[in-house]
């Protein structure tokens, strides 16, 4: 596989997993009560955090997971639980409470992680680094990571015009829809985590001849 082909493989995979267009309704739901300047700051912070987390795991992911004895299923389960908590806030309207919003930075959690830098993206990057055909391909991986995050930032940065179209009532409806979508993503992550442990148990049982 050539360098450019490997770059395209990494970029397309990360684009599908991180889904920049799909983050728009959740981003608008979480930042609907903010003014334009605060939304732009949230978009930048979320993108920078995601880029930092993905880069960290690209460089040290295998060592971190091995040292902490963390399985992929554990990452998926943790991400699912975090998203489920946020989904419940969106569905019950607690995310619209200014007192609730002041206690945390939604740009960091859940936008930056686990929505953008989630278990899927982290594991994908670790595998790409591990399977890189040559050291030169590390540069292609880095370029793909940067380009995807630039796309993510631009999508969030210029989605503000939708707020003017949707108005307050539209944002409230979008918030509930985003809550349902987040809940579905959370349940899928938790289900994947359970299936991961089931497969691990079955493989272990097979190895000992049960």
| pLDDT tens readout for residues 113-124 | 888 998 889 988
97 has pLDDT over 60: no
Phi-psi label, residue 209: left if phi above 0, alpha if psi -120 to 50, beta otherwise:
left
| Residue 57 near residue 126, CB atoms below 8 Å | yes
Q: Could you report how far apart the first and last alpha carbons of the chain are, in Å? A: 41
Average pLDDT over residues 3-19: 89
Between CA 74 and CA 67 the distance in angstroms is 14
Q: Hey, what are 117's tokens?
A: 């830098």
Q: Is the pTM of this model over 0.85?
A: no
102 has pLDDT over 50: no
50: exposed, middle or buried (C-beta count within 10 Å: 0-12, 13-18, 19+)? buried
Domain ranges of the chain: 3-207
Q: Tens digits of per-residue pLDDT, 125-168?
A: 988 998 888 888 999 999 999 999 999 999 999 887 776 777 76
- Please state, rounded to an integer, the average pLDDT across all residues of the chain: 83
Half-sphere exposure of residue 26, counting CA atoms within 13 Å on the CB side?
29
């Amino acid at each position: 596989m050539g360098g450019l082909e490997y770059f395209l493989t990494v970029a397309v995979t990360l684009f599908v997993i991180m889904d920049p267009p799909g983050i728009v309704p959740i981003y608008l739901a979480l930042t609907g009560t903010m003014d334009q300047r605060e939304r732009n700051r949230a978009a930048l912070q979320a993108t920078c955090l995601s880029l930092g987390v993905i880069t960290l795991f690209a460089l040290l992911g295998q060592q971190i997971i091995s040292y902490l004895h963390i399985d992929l299923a554990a990452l998926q389960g943790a991400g699912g639980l975090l998203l489920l908590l946020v989904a419940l806030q969106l569905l019950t309207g607690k995310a619209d409470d200014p007192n609730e919003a002041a206690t945390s930075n939604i740009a960091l959690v859940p936008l930056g992680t686990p929505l953008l830098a989630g278990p899927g993206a982290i594991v994908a990057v670790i595998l790409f680094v591990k399977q890189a055909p040559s050291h030169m391909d590390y540069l292609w991986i880095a370029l793909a990571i940067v380009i995807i995050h630039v796309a993510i930032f631009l999508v969030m940065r210029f989605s503000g015009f939708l707020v003017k179209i949707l108005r307050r009532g539209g944002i409230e409806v979008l918030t509930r829809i985003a809550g349902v979508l987040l809940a579905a993503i959370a349940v899928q992550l938790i289900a994947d985590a359970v299936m991961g442990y089931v497969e691990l148990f079955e493989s272990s049982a097979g190895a000992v001849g049960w």
